[in-house]
Structure 1
Amino acid sequence: MSHNDRQMNGQHRPNSILDQFELPLAKKSRQRLARLRTAWRESWEEGSFLHQRWEDVGQARHASWHEVASWIKTAGLFGGISLIVLMLDAAGDIASATLKGLSNVPATSTSDGSGLWGTVDHPVRVFLAGQAAHLAVAPAALYAFWQLTGLLGLVGGFFGNAGARIAWLLFGLGSLAMIWSATPAGGRAAATGLAALMWALASIFALRGLTLRPIVHNHPPQFMPQFNPELHLHATLPAPAPAGDDFDNNIHPLQR
């Protein structure tokens, strides 16, 4: 049947089972779309759900934390916690990659302890390699952790972090103990003293601004209360009796 045969008076005339199902489905879809449009417009009217949520967002820019809507607080806290978790996960991956990278450096390198740095570094390598033989950890991992601790303590201490400064102090004391233990007896004192001087010079940056003097703030108080002690006595005197009144023998009028 031609296209003209399927059109009668401007209306579509179904001639198959498929056409009989297409018309009701198209009508239902248009009705559903119309209902969605109506619901969307009504939700943005004054006092409706979406309109109130938008008002909450607008007020949150000028209100304090206690005045902000609860759903905004919840969303902000959830987003902040998610961000912290992602940052911790990324920091863990970075630290793991750093440790693996440092672990590639052999614990006993070709350095024979010559030079100023070799005098300090070689005993540490030897000590860690000897201790790793009794532990379930590779010597390279111990040496990498020792390097990472010193680096974090130096950088964190420079920025005033208290925990990093404590780690820097423990790193220095531990390094001196390892150098004293692994250096031959003939040069033990010189190697340990040289390491102590290097550690003291590096501490200028790691312990920047640290002082042992107590900080005393001498600021005069803005308001000094003044006390003026005064004694107030209140005495009530009876009114004088009128002339001609009789008094008992045991009662005498108060004379002023």
Structure 2
Amino acid sequence: MQSDDKPTNGQPTNGQYNLSFPELFNQLPTEPSADQHGAGRLAWLRAAWKQSWKEGGFLYERWEEVGQARHVSWYEIATWIKATLLFGGLSLIVLMLDAAGDIASATLKGLSDVPATGAGDGSGLWGMVDHPIRVFLADQAAHLPVAPAALYAFWQLTGLVGLVGGFFGNAGARIAWLLFGIGSLAMIWSATPAGGRAAATGLAALMWALASILALRGLTLRPIVHNHPPQFQPQFSPALHIHATLPAPAPVGDDFGDEPDNVHPLQR
């Protein structure tokens, strides 16, 4: 690999000297004149291609930079590689957002096209829950400036967002899921005939509870107590210090006559 001390814009890149465009063209073979045939121009292109792949050539150096990018940090990668990666990542994000927008738009349009009262006679377990909600929303939409299909689509979207978002632990989605269930039970109780109102509402509550296993996954009512010891714990070392002052012993033969009267030397 060719390396020298010539800087690029004042600083070398990865210890290598990057050729500028004028220097790159100076390394290419002499371009054939205009009066030569196409074969001569093709031979020139072939020679330029081989020259760029030789050690120290433009394409050779770029390929070396690609190989080194796997073993160096982000700040040491060549600028053109970082720009390419950033441009590709932004393009991928834009494509994903565009596709997600199209999917959401098609889903909302499909939900809105479903007639609010097209649930037949409400037969079946799901029809027992879905049909009263459709009837309730259709009756309420007659007093509101909105179509029944729009209300039904919004109800479905709320339940879907609450279920999926609650599964991933989003607090707002779980609140929406709880309100969705309570509102659904209220609509079923209101629109179901009196003879089967209690059974329909009870079965709907059981179905909502089963779905809540996914929507409220990991939720616990036990308080979470974090026992973290303090970072600084003072050390107490109790000690008892007693200071006693002892009189100095009297010198031998001391007879100052200061002994009390009741003290007498021992005599045989």
TM normalised by structure 1 equals 0.60
Structure 2 CA distance for aligned equivalents of residues 178 and 71 of structure 1: 61
Aligned to 2:45: 36
1:46 counterpart letter in structure 2: E
Shift of 1:111: 4.1
Aligned to 2:209: 200
Aligned to 2:153: 144
Output aligned runs, 1:1-256, within 5 Å. 27-112=36-121, 117-133=126-142, 134-137=144-147, 139-162=148-171, 164-179=173-188, 182=191, 192=201, 194-216=203-225
Structure 2 CA distance for aligned equivalents of residues 152 and 132 of structure 1: 23
Shift of 1:173: 3.5
Structure 2 CA distance for aligned equivalents of residues 190 and 228 of structure 1: 68
1:39 counterpart letter in structure 2: A
Partner of 2:54: helix, strand, or coil? coil
Aligned to 2:250: none
Shift of 1:78: 1.9
Partner of 1:66: helix, strand, or coil? helix
1:158 counterpart letter in structure 2: F
Distance verdict in 2 for CA 1:165–1:47, change over 3 Å: farther
Query: Cα RMSD over matched residues?
Result: 3.8
**Gaps in structure 1 of 5+ consecutive residues:** 1-23, 230-256
Structure 2 CA distance for aligned equivalents of residues 228 and 171 of structure 1: 58
2:184 counterpart letter in structure 1: S
2:183 counterpart letter in structure 1: G
Structure 1 CA distance for aligned equivalents of residues 80 and 46 of structure 2: 26
Query: For residues 55-104 of structure 1, what are the alpha-carbon distances to aligned partners after superposition, in whole Å with 9 as ceiling and x for unaligned?
Result: 12111222233332232222222222222222222233333333444445
Structure 1 CA distance for aligned equivalents of residues 80 and 235 of structure 2: 54
**Identity over aligned pairs, percent:** 77
Mapped contact 1:99–1:141 kept (Cα < 8 A) = no
Shift of 1:108: 1.0
1:47 counterpart letter in structure 2: G
Shift of 1:54: 1.0
Distance verdict in 2 for CA 1:62–1:217, change over 3 Å: farther
TM normalised by structure 2 equals 0.58
2:50 counterpart letter in structure 1: R
Structure 1 CA distance for aligned equivalents of residues 77 and 172 of structure 2: 35
**Gaps in structure 2 of 5+ consecutive residues:** 1-32, 238-268
Shift of 1:156: 4.0
Partner of 2:93: helix, strand, or coil? helix
